[in-house]
Amino acid sequence: MRSAIKGHDVKKLWIRHVKEALHKGFADHIDMSDYARASDSVREKAFLSRSLAALAVQRFTELSTAAAASAVVDGSHDNGIDAIAVDPAQHRVILVQSKWDGSGDGTLGLGDSRNFTAGFKDLLDTKFDRFSSRLRAREEQITAALDDVDVTFVLVIATTGRTDLATPSAGVFEDVLQEMNETQPLVSVELLGLNEFHAFVADGLGEPRIDFQAQLENWGVVSEPYEAYYGVVTASSVAEWYERFGDRLFSQNIRMALGSTSVNESLTRTIQEDPHHFWYFNNGVTALCESIKKTPRGAASRTFGDFALTGVSVVNGAQTVASIHQAAHRAESGLEDAMVWVRFINLEGCPDDFAAAVTRATNTQNAVETRDFVALDPVQDRLRTELVLSLKKTYAIKRGEPVPRPENGCTVVDATVALACANREPSLAVLAKSKVGSLWESTKKGPYRTLFHSGVGPYRVWRCVEVMRCVDDTLADLKRQLDGRPRSVCLQGNRLVLHLVFRQLDLQGIEDADCEWSTQMRRVPVLTERALMSLAKHVDDAYASSYVTSLFKNITKCRDLVHRVRGEWDSNPATDGARRGTAKSTE
């Protein structure tokens, strides 16, 4: 990787390179209409700062220059956010604060750090009235992203100065990371300085290609129709590739390394704790090469082979490479024992569009999800049969099956979320919101067996789904009447609201075919509104400074909120009949 810049003259030179690249790339795309009456120097600095934000967006997305420029929302009342990009495919939101620094020595100050994180919090609380018209114009898209249970956020500090923050500024971001990532990785902070931006510019102007030698064990070759070599390499070799070349390894990939995601953390743990299993657990790495030459060493056997690789680009396996490199920095143990499956495809003699086709195909194959293993559980087959025979309802278990219309049936995902929220333990409702896949991690034990045990029947499943859908419809109506933090609670706290509604319903006859279930269903809309209002009140009372997005993924805090709401209800019984009967939740 490129070493840190040194020397005043070099900084000046690099700043000029970046400046020229920004003008060349973004002069026709950055909206500067609000600076029409500003002086040339003021306008120039604002243009460079906005262009830098757009370039930072391109670092983390596949957006074109024009699209990246449209992501810029800098301006009057921008609330600390200079650019925002939503990446639905990767379930990510990229937020940028940029500062053009002509000296090459500056960094983000304490005030700017606080403004950026405060703006981030306002965005999570959907306080769009605090932002510029440019950001408000994208309210629908941003709200949809915030409602995505898998969404993560990248806070990007983009500057032509240093990438190190002073202790007070660093503390501001550390506080955000500590709270938001308390239960799972939701937020990462990336610092891009002059060194990084100059590297981007150099890449765009033709950075030297990547050449290296690789030793493959138990290698093989495919000769027709195009040449490719395959085999295994040690994880330490892969870590060394990334140490030498960094993200340039992924120049033709659809995405760079994604940082500390749950999947990447799992890869790193496997190398550290169970390196001999890494080859079995990982799909490996695919790289395109401008040319491949087999050296004479090891020519007599396929046990070992040395290959000279020219113009290398990893097109699938970026997360594997980066995770191995991360493991190398944490501890050296395991890297020599972990083996990685690799494929090197020789582009010599391939059609012009073959490289793009390989990149696209290797990154769009369907992955096996934990949900898929649920289809092997006999309990699910039993429920499918019983739902048809007892209620004439379709139950879709496998991915790819047609999803029934709401009135005609439900999916196993619907059933899992509904049963989890109906359980007395609030932690299952939190998992249903934050990591629904964790409810299926093992079909042999809890939490899966807590939900889908031998005693669960078709009426419990269907009636819980009915309650969930009624709550969701009611919340959708209420959301249109709310703004700010209550609206954010409505979006992010929907599963805890559902849990609270279940705790107020009489579920004693839920498995009884002759139960007058319609009596309970009529109460759901009123209970939903009551639960939402009470929950929003206690969120403000007990967690006013918390980020709502992470709050409803924190089991301890959600248990506390449930306790507070139910305590309020016990001391102030509802007058609408909500307390009729014996309220018992699904066990």
How is the chain split into domains, by residue range?
Answer: 8-204, 212-362, 370-571
Residue with tokens 């390196």: 275
Q: Say which DSSP state 202 is in.
A: H
- Give the tokens for residue 87: 């990446």
pLDDT digits (tens, 9 = 90+) for 2-37: 444 555 678 889 999 999 999 999 999 999 999 999
- 167-180 and 110-124 helices cross at what angle (nearest 10)? 20
Buried b / exposed e over 61-83, threshold 16 CB at 10 Å, is bebebeebbbbbbbbeebbbbbb
| Nearest-angstrom CA–CA distance, 435 and 433 | 6
| Nearest-angstrom CA–CA distance, 211 and 313 | 10
Element (H, E) at 343: strand 339-346
Nearest alpha-carbon partner for 80 in 29, 122, 47, 46: 122
Residue with tokens 């391939």: 350
pLDDT in single tens digits along all 587 residues of the chain: 344 455 567 888 999 999 999 999 999 999 999 999 999 999 999 999 999 999 999 888 878 889 999 999 998 888 999 999 998 877 889 999 999 998 888 888 999 999 999 999 999 988 999 998 999 999 999 988 988 878 899 999 999 988 888 999 999 999 999 989 888 888 999 899 998 888 777 765 444 578 889 999 999 999 989 999 999 999 889 988 888 877 777 766 544 444 544 455 667 777 777 788 888 888 889 999 989 998 876 556 678 888 999 889 888 888 788 888 877 776 655 577 889 999 999 999 898 778 877 877 776 554 556 677 788 889 999 999 999 999 999 999 987 788 999 999 999 999 999 999 999 999 999 999 988 888 988 888 889 999 999 999 999 999 999 999 999 999 999 998 988 889 889 989 999 999 999 999 999 999 999 999 999 999 999 999 999 999 999 999 999 988 888 899 999 999 999 999 999 998 887 654 444 433 444 44
Residue 467 zone, left/alpha/beta (φ > 0; ψ -120 to 50; rest): alpha
Cβ proximity of 287 and 345 under 8 Å: yes
| Nearest-angstrom CA–CA distance, 114 and 120 | 10
**Rounded to a whole number, what is the largest CA-CA distance in the chain?**
87
User: In what side-by-side order are the strands of the sheet with 83-87?
Assistant: 83-87, 92-99, 152-159, 187-192
Cβ proximity of 208 and 296 under 8 Å: no
